[in-house]
């Protein structure tokens, strides 16, 4: 958020002269904070008082407060050392910066009216279907007497909280519940303030159990996911989705089939980079995930086929209503095919889509995707090919696609 500073001359009655440095502290709504700390303000307040210590410079001249805020806050000076801070009308987070006029290096303090993130206690690890345990949270909220909070529990997947998918503990800063594990899922907890239109704090989320292939996968990082086909000579970085936290979970990547078709393999935690070898080959990339404290292992795998590509590939294959053709990011627009041609197994052309000259350079360089409607075609096997001008031959290897 953009910060803006305003300066005004005022009279300051202060301490002895010292070498000027960054202010050591700032008082917000009656509490002192240092650089980088967070000030929590009751959500019922729309403005608070801010002030700093006053000092003299080395010449004995009196210094005055200078203040800036994030764009959703505003302020006005009330005297030499003091300002009124006007908070966000929707109680959203912000920050203030305070120093002395004419001197650099303001201190920065974050200001929040949302309740803090709860602190989680979750043990033991749940390893077997039907197991349950008591999970607890507490919240370091300071305004329970005037604006009490509720603690809200929510689960996903095969996890229940007190026998349901949601549970709310009213008017409390701590809560203990029974979590039952039936299959992989999550437990999330956050606080709300009913007295401020259910103002919601940030949630803390815990994964429970070991994910099977239906609950976890891996996708390309740093570009469009290639789907089934990889381009020969290209390296791909894949990352777990969801990305499970360490040390609760550990990862092991392998290539159980087709390792000779991989030119580069570098696993690292929840990600792995592979290099696609020669066109015509293929391989399986396996991602295993182990839950610490249980020893249970899950995960998923993907099978890839390597083509020459000439810069494009089909993302969704097999497909039903449409296919998506992806071109590599930073692809040269002059090298785009004039058209993409789809033919059936008898080599009859069923559709052509113009490509070259149809898209801006910016779209092409960021990774062009072309959606082609195929819902009217009979189900079966088809081939998509790039057709080029005389300066480049047709793509040697048409890409085989399945419509089902």
User: What one-character DSSP code corresponds to residue 261?
Assistant: G
pTM equals 0.70
CATH 2.40.50.140 fits 217-307, yes or no: no
Q: Which fold has domain 119-208?
A: Immunoglobulin-like (2.60.40)
Under the banding of pLDDT at 50, 70 and 90, the label for residue 316 is confident
Q: What is the pLDDT of residues 37-86, one digit of tens each?
A: 999 999 999 999 999 998 887 777 778 999 999 999 999 999 989 999 99
Q: What is the pLDDT of residues 186-223, one digit of tens each?
A: 999 999 999 999 999 999 999 999 999 999 999 999 87
Tell me if domain 119-208 and domain 217-307 are identical in fold. yes
Supply φ then ψ for residue 130, to 5 degrees: 90, -10
CATH 1.10.3210 fits 322-403, yes or no: no
Q: Which fold has domain 4-112?
A: Immunoglobulin-like (2.60.40)
- pLDDT at res. 330: 56
Helices (H) then strands (E): counts for the chain: 1, 32
What are the boundaries of each domain within the chain?
4-112, 119-208, 217-307, 322-403
Q: Quote the CA–CA distance of 142 and 123 in Å, as a whole number.
A: 27
Segment (H or E) for 39: strand 38-40
Q: Are 357 and 388 in contact (CB under 8 A)?
A: no
- pLDDT at res. 135: 95
Window from 125-129, 148-152, 288-292 with minimum mean pLDDT: 125-129
- pLDDT at res. 314: 85
Choose between 391 and 98: higher pLDDT.
98
CB atoms within 10 A of CB 377: 13
The string of DSSP letters for 202-226 reads PPEEEEES---TTT-EEEESSS---
Q: Rg of the chain's alpha carbons, rounded to an integer?
A: 30
Residue 160 has pLDDT above 80, yes or no: yes
Q: Quote the CA–CA distance of 136 and 120 in Å, as a whole number.
A: 6
- pLDDT at res. 101: 87
């Amino acid at each position: 958020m953009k910060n803006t500073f305003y300066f005004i001359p005022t009279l300051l009655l202060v301490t002895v002269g010292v070498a000027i440095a960054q202010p050591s502290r700032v008082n917000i709504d009656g509490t002192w904070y240092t650089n980088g700390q967070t000030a929590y303000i009751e959500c019922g307040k729309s403005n608070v008082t801010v002030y700093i210590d006053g000092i003299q410079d080395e010449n004995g001249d009196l210094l005055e407060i200078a203040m800036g805020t994030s764009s959703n806050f505003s302020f006005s000076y009330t005297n030499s050392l003091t300002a009124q801070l006007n908070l966000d009308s929707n109680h959203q987070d912000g920050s203030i910066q305070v120093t002395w006029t004419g001197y650099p290096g303001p201190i920065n303090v974050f200001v929040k009216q949302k309740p803090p993130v709860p602190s989680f206690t979750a043990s033991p690890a749940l390893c077997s279907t039907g197991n349950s345990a008591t999970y607890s949270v507490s919240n370091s909220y300071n305004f329970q007497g005037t604006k009490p909070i509720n603690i809200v529990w929510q689960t996903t997947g095969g996890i229940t909280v007190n026998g349901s998918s949601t549970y709310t503990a009213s008017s409390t800063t701590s809560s203990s519940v029974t979590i039952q594990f039936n299959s992989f899922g999550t437990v999330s907890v956050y606080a709300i303030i009913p007295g401020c239109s259910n103002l919601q704090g940030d949630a803390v989320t815990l994964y429970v159990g070991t994910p099977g292939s239906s609950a976890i996968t891996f996708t390309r990082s740093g570009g469009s996911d290639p789907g089934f086909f990889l381009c020969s000579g290209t390296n791909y970085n894949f990352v777990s989705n969801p990305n499970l936290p360490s040390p609760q979970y550990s990862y092991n990547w392998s290539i159980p089939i087709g390792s000779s078709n991989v030119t580069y393999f570098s696993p690292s935690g929840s990600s792995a980079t592979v290099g696609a070898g020669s066109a015509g080959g293929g391989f399986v990339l396996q991602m295993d995930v182990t839950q610490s404290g249980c020893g249970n292992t899950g995960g998923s795998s993907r099978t890839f086929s390597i083509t020459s590509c000439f810069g494009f590939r089909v993302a969704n294959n097999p497909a039903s209503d449409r296919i998506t053709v992806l071109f590599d990011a930073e692809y040269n627009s002059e090298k785009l095919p004039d058209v993409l041609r789809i033919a059936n197994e008898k080599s009859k052309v069923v559709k052509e889509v113009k490509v070259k000259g149809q898209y801006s350079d910016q779209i092409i360089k960021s990774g062009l995707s072309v959606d082609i409607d195929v819902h009217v075609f009979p189900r079966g096997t088809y081939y998509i090919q790039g057709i080029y001008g005389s300066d480049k031959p047709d793509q040697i290897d048409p890409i085989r696609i399945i419509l089902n």
